[in-house]
Structure 1
């Protein structure tokens, strides 16, 4: 096939696709109107109506979480602290591996 013939086929296919899309749109609209009529509505009634949202129970406003206080401090550098929650920091694991008791690193206030 030549290029012109292929372009003509492409144009024909595009026209056929548009016609099929329009036909499917019409069929869908008819089916929707029929379904709405079964419940006593018109398609315009349903399209214009805003969907009702389910009522939610009022909840208390969430307050911002306070950061946890540090529970452990590095004896070699007291600026390094850990709350005791989550993953253990490397300095904590190294101190425990060297024989330091975790209670010895606990911050007392």
Structure 2
């Protein structure tokens, strides 16, 4: 690697160099990741498997499950609540009025 004096560069040149260096690092890392993935796929194939067979069907983040609504506001049926997390205001108001939570169950 050749040495050069950064103190001779002005601010715009330093910013440009910084941006170009960041891009070069990202592309280098992407190439290395692709090489590692190709090597892993080749190793799995040589053993008679696909990479998905070995690591599972999805490579990435698992999908977040959505809880179906369990309670519905009879005054406004668009308002629902799964029974998890913070209680919506309409539930709080109903409980304060001594109404049982079971009155709001969906599909009772």
Instruction: Please report the TM-score for the alignment, with normalisation by the length of structure 1.
Output: 0.43
Instruction: Please report the TM-score for the alignment, with normalisation by the length of structure 2.
Output: 0.43
